[in-house]
Amino acid sequence: MRCYYHTASDAVAVCMYCHRGVCTECAAEVEKGIACKDRCEDEVAAVMGYTAKLGQQLAVNRTSNLGWSVWFLILGLILTIGGVALFWLDIDRGYGVGAFAAGVFLVLAGLLSLYAARRSIRDLRSD
Ligand SMILES: [Zn+2]
Ligand SMILES: [Zn+2]
């Protein structure tokens, strides 16, 4: 690809705003993005700023998922222990088995969403 502004020069990058090839002379680095020097710098800065904001919002959403996972785990553990106690102490065996099963299910769901939330946060940080 040739530089859009200097047809004699090879393009080394593509402007993130107008998608034209730019040579080393015309490329300007703006917030980790490439822009045409003196032409698209402001536009690329705006696009990169918007993308960064979107990423922060996603991170916030994922962190609140983490809170749900913890509640699942706590509720699941209470049900599991309660179920075992009901069964073990012979208070209500049928109810105990039901609570135990529901508790194990909640703990598993909590662990799974905790794992998923942690992994997506790590992905986000490595960007
Ligand atoms: Zn451009
Ligand atoms: Zn050029």
> Does residue 69 contact residue 39 with C-beta atoms inside 8 Å?
no
What's the CA-to-centroid distance between 24 and ligand 1, angstroms? 13
What's the CA-to-centroid distance between 125 and ligand 1, angstroms? 28
Q: What is the pTM of this model?
A: 0.47
pLDDT at position 61 is 74
What's the CA-to-centroid distance between 17 and ligand 2, angstroms? 16
What's the CA-to-centroid distance between 18 and ligand 1, angstroms? 4
- Tens of pLDDT along the chain (127 residues)? 999 999 999 999 999 999 999 999 999 998 889 999 999 999 999 988 888 888 888 777 767 667 778 888 999 999 999 999 999 898 888 999 999 999 999 999 988 888 887 776 666 666 5
pLDDT at position 59 is 78
> Using CA atoms, how far apart are residues 91 and 99, in angstroms rounded to an integer?
13
What's the CA-to-centroid distance between 81 and ligand 1, angstroms? 62
pLDDT at position 60 is 76
What's the CA-to-centroid distance between 58 and ligand 1, angstroms? 28
